[in-house]
Amino acid sequence: MPAPSSSAGTGGADGASTQLTRLLLTRYSLSRTGTVQLDKATSFQAQINPAEFSHSFGIRYDKTKAQGSSGVEPKFSTMDDERVSFNIVLDGTGVVPPVPGQPPDVKGQLAQLNKVVYEYVDLRSEPPYVRVLWGTLIFFGRLESLKAQYTLFKPGGDPLRAKVDLSFVGAMSKEEERRVTQRASTSDQTRTVRMYGNESIGQVCERIYGDPSVFMQVARFNGLTDFRNIPPGTVLRFPPLGK
């Protein structure tokens, strides 16, 4: 997916102004009914968007061999963890305008980032759940690793710029993800859904739109050439139809 520009544009082909969309990290909790409750007061916006990010899925197979056998066909075992990783740059030189409401210095920005993705949730004594939102990417997970590399300093040693590598692992179960998708299906926004081996695109359309017959529209929207054989772990976009 092409990376959004790291600075706001002043006009497109039609002369209309464009606005920078920053990568947004927000703490959330998930109720038993599947409702995502965002803590918008505990969020962090990237000052400079990532140049790239990786989004990986895994599948585990049972490759146990019987004694004396020469080989065995791998059998599907389970879906492995979903992961997202990227890096962002924190700048305190003043060259890049600070994000409104966030500290302008690198030390303060890193503290705010830690508060969102790293500091324990008081009541549960465990790392927080974090929603990663950027463009078409909507990812629910937990921090797996954070590494800050400082690259520029003031004469006194205070950092002026830092590169931060972030990695998140998916935190929602399959059933939780389905409930969230179902609740959000009435929204006027395009939704992303991770496909599983025992689920067809028609079944997902029935769940989201209440009509499995619209699967061809969704297939065309995603550029699918073979909608009958979608690899497990594939992420498809389901747009608002009739718009």
Is 38 a member of any domain? Answer: yes
Same domain, residue pair 95 and 213: no
Is 64 a member of any domain? Answer: no
Same domain, residue pair 141 and 28: yes
Q: Which amino acid is at 133?
A: L
pLDDT score recorded for residue 208: 80
* 236 in Cβ contact with 190 (< 8 Å): no
Q: Give the chain's radius of gyration (CA, Å).
A: 21
Write down the mean pLDDT value for the chain: 79
Is 70 a member of any domain? Answer: no
Average pLDDT, stretch 202-211? 81
What is the tens place of the pLDDT at every residue in 116-147?
999 987 666 788 999 999 887 888 899 999 99
pTM > 0.85: no
Q: Is the pLDDT of residue 178 over 90?
A: no
Name, in order, each residue with C-beta under 8 angstroms of 63's C-beta and a sequence gap of 6 or more: 72, 74
CA contacts within 13 A on the Cβ side of 105 = 7
Same domain, residue pair 154 and 116: yes
Is 53 a member of any domain? Answer: yes
Ramachandran angles phi, psi of 159, nearest 5°: -70, 140
pLDDT score recorded for residue 144: 95
* 134 in Cβ contact with 160 (< 8 Å): no
- Where helices occur in 15-167 by DSSP H, the ranges are 106-117
Measured CA to CA, the distance from residue 35 to residue 30 in angstroms comes to: 6
pLDDT band at 47 (very low <50, low <70, confident <90, very high): very high
Overall domain count for the chain:
2
Is 73 a member of any domain? Answer: no
What domain range is 141 assigned to?
24-59+79-170
Same domain, residue pair 132 and 205: no
